[in-house]
Each structure stands twice: as C-alpha cells, then as structure tokens.
Structure 1
C-alpha cells in the first residue's frame, strides 16, 4: 500500500494488542477493491462511522472526508 490512499470504512475495531496501549483500527475498502487495516488516532476513530470515506495524504495522518 502506498503512502496515500482513500477508501470507505467497512469496520471499526480497537484492542489492547500489547496489554497496555489501546490501538484503534479501521478496515478500509480502497478504490481497487482491496481491504486494508489502518491505525487511526482517537479523534478520527470516535467521529467516523461505517460507510464514511477516509483518506490519507503522504506524510499525514488519516482524516475523514466531508
């Protein structure tokens, strides 16, 4: 996967993968049909819903597309 992408949220998940840090992940369907899991910060995770579009520009964090 390249450093920039855009896709639709299929699923939200979070977990204590290492026992002490909470990781928030989104499963995203990209335009080419592939599904990828990406880590996002708390603000994005709290404000995104399944079906929303999320994008990431090179060198930036993922953001919700209005």
Structure 2
C-alpha cells in the first residue's frame, strides 16, 4: 500500500518484530470492506492504541488512524 492510497478496514491481528535485527516494526492485519486482508505498518502510538476489532482508516497522503 502506498502513501497515496486510501482505504479503511477492521483490525484482525496485531504483530511486531525485528525483521532486520535492529528496528522494531509494528504491523496490523486488516480486513477491508471488500473482504481482502492486508498487512499495514503503523507507528508505535497507533499500534498501542489499536485492539482487534477496531476500525482503521487511511486517507490519501495521510497516515492511518483509528476511526
């Protein structure tokens, strides 16, 4: 998903990991309105705020946020 895309969905899973051995990446898996699932990288503050079942929205050119 690019910075210019817009989407919305429901969080189905939260995960984090040190994929490169030095940086901690936080991701959420979302189910979009069309039924497909996507993994989305989010910032620490948003990751801590989100729970499974929460709605998340991203407008074109903006960062994702809780709806």
Same fold (TM over 0.5): yes
Stretches of 4+ moved more than 4 A in 1?
A: none
TM-score by length of 1: 0.95
Query: What 5-or-longer segments of structure 2 have no aligned partner?
Result: none
3-state SS in 1 of match to 2:26:
strand
Match of 2:14 in 1: 12
Alignment equivalent of 2:54, drawn from 49, 52, 55: 52
Q: Cα RMSD over matched residues?
A: 1.1
Query: What 5-or-longer segments of structure 1 have no aligned partner?
Result: none
Q: 1:27-46 to 2 correspondence within 5 Å?
A: 27-46=29-48
**Aligned residues between the structures:** 65
